[in-house]
């Protein structure tokens, strides 16, 4: 790292421009540069790159920065394919890495998290499952409205910027159908001269557009998010109204067209409410759930608990090989989706209960009895200590942990290990090519 004259070696301050060479990748995808014992984590940089980076946060031993100029690319860097307004797509920060390198980094980072954070050993780390499609794989994308030169634009926040929107014409993460749906709404907004919402001025109307796609059904569902206002009917399926300065997309929603998204997964016909969680990569969700089913090792008579069950996808895909399936989910509307999906597919041995994993497991045990297998698919934050205790109280022979964050899987697996469970197998699954996000499935067996 180059230092200014008279400057203490290794020191940095917010707003400073540094020239650094990237040595490796940190968990989460940022490049790592080191000098004189000082570490700089650089967003938008890959191993071998020499970049000019602006410091966004400075601490005594490390700094965080964002790339403002690529001075010389690393030897393995490939040309960016998804570019908007001259900027790499914010949703594809690893597109400069050859795909084989992406897979290798994800597998290595999974192992590092389990060993370093969890202190775990003796497990089999299996080969990562590569993506079916490396581009145009996302079945859901959220876009933000903005203004440029007096014209409404619709796209993504620029990397590291909440106040700058980059207009999008063809995002290679989305299908051509999804891109066309977004562009239609943008054209309508321009034609009707409806102003975008300005968070600084706290005025305007158009906030976000959510585009979801049934990859197998061919359905595209659009949801417009606005401030309260009167305007001509938009060409969308759903309309969400948000008051105040919220940056989210959740709020009271009315139907103008198709209320639910139709999709097919693992041979099941599903209907999904707009607020329900569904894996963002349909094709890889099938492979993820196949790994979960393999690890569950069902023979036809087992009782399965599906915690954080959402619309029931994991439990329903296992139901044919189980004696009975019980799903637990905190959102009542999502439980209603799960029950409808069970009925649509003629699955009679699955029941779904509204409740949190923290308070709902004990009542579920009283009603259903102890499970043979527990499948758990928690959010990125993983499981709290209390939920881990509830999981232990189930006394299941096998726990199948579907994780979207190995750094929270690791301590949870260690906590379960203290209670007599052995981490035996882990298999990463590449759900999100061109990004640093890591999904994996872990099997813990009672000793």
Sign of the four-CA dihedral 440, 360, 268, 293: positive
Listed as own residue / partner, the contacts of 195-198 with beta carbons closer than 8 Å and 24 or more positions apart are 195/147, 195/152, 196/145, 196/146, 196/147, 196/152, 196/153, 197/145, 197/226, 197/227, 198/147
Q: Which residues lie below 8 Å from residue 91, measured CB to CB, with a gap of 6+? A: 82, 138, 141, 156, 171, 173, 434, 435
State the CB neighbour count (10 A cutoff) for residue 262.
16
C-beta of residue 250 within 8 angstroms of C-beta of residue 266? no
- Which of these, 444, 435, 337, lies nearest to 137 by C-alpha position? 435
Catalytic residue among 82, 171, 404, 440: 404
Question: Is 171 one of the catalytic residues?
Answer: no
Question: What's the residue count for the chain?
Answer: 447
| Residue for token pair 């209390």 | 386
Residue 297: strand, helix, or coil: coil
C-beta of residue 105 within 8 angstroms of C-beta of residue 446? no
C-beta of residue 161 within 8 angstroms of C-beta of residue 207? no
C-beta of residue 66 within 8 angstroms of C-beta of residue 17? no
CA angle 199, 205, 211 (to 5 degrees): 95
- Which of these, 385, 365, 366, lies nearest to 307 by C-alpha position? 365
Classify residue 263 as exposed, middle or buried by CB count within 10 Å of its CB (0-12, 13-18, 19+).
Answer: buried
For residues 169 and 178, give the distance between their C-alpha atoms in angstroms, rounded to a whole number: 11
For residues 283 and 163, give the distance between their C-alpha atoms in angstroms, rounded to a whole number: 34
For residues 363 and 60, give the distance between their C-alpha atoms in angstroms, rounded to a whole number: 49
C-beta of residue 439 within 8 angstroms of C-beta of residue 429? yes
In the DSSP assignment, the letter for residue 360 is: S
For residues 438 and 155, give the distance between their C-alpha atoms in angstroms, rounded to a whole number: 25
For residues 351 and 372, give the distance between their C-alpha atoms in angstroms, rounded to a whole number: 16
Q: Which of the residues are catalytic?
A: 404
């Amino acid at each position: 790292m180059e230092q200014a004259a008279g400057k203490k070696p290794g020191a940095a301050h917010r707003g400073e421009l540094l020239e650094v060479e990237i040595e490796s990748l940190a968990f989460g995808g940022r490049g790592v540069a080191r000098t004189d014992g000082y570490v700089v984590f650089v967003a938008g940089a890959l191993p071998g790159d020499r970049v000019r980076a602006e410091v966004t946060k400075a601490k005594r031993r490390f700094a965080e920065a964002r790339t403002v100029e690529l001075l010389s690319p690393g030897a393995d860097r490939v040309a960016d394919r998804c570019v908007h307004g001259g900027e790499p797509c914010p949703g594809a920060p690893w597109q400069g890495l050859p795909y084989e390198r992406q897979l290798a980094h994800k597998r290595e980072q999974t192992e590092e998290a389990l060993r370093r954070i969890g202190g775990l050993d003796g497990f089999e780390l299996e080969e990562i499952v590569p993506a079916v499609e490396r581009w145009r794989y996302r079945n859901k994308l959220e876009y933000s409205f903005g203004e440029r030169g007096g014209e409404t634009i619709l796209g993504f926040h620029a990397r590291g910027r909440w106040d700058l929107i980059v207009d999008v014409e063809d995002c290679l993460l989305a299908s051509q159908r999804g891109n066309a749906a977004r562009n239609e709404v943008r054209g309508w907004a321009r034609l009707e001269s409806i102003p975008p919402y300005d968070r600084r001025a706290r005025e305007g109307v158009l906030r976000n557009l959510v585009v979801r796609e049934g990859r197998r059904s061919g359905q595209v569902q659009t949801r417009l998010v606005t401030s309260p206002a009167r305007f001509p009917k938009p060409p969308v399926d759903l309309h969400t109204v948000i008051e105040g300065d919220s940056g989210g997309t959740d709020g009271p929603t009315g139907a103008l067209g198709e209320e639910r998204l139709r999709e097919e997964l693992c041979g099941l016909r599903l209907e999904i409410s707009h607020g329900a969680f569904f894996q963002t990569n349909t094709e890889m969700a099938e492979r993820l759930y196949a790994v979960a089913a393999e690890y569950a090792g069902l023979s036809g008579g087992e009782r399965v608990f599906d915690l954080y069950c959402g619309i029931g996808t994991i439990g329903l895909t296992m139901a044919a090989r189980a004696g009975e399936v019980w799903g637990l989910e905190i959102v009542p509307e999502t439980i209603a989706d799960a029950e409808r999906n069970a009925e649509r597919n003629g699955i009679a041995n699955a029941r779904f209960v509204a409740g949190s994993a923290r308070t709902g497991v004990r009542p579920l045990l009283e009603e259903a009895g102890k499970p043979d297998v527990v499948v758990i698919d928690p959010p990125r934050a993983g499981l709290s200590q209390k939920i881990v205790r509830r999981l232990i109280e189930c006394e299941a022979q096998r726990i199948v942990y579907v994780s979207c964050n190995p750094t929270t899987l690791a301590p949870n697996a260690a906590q379960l290990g203290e209670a007599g469970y052995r981490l035996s197998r882990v298999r990463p699954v590449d759900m999100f090519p061109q990004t640093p996000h890591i999904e994996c499935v872990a099997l813990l067996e009672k000793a």
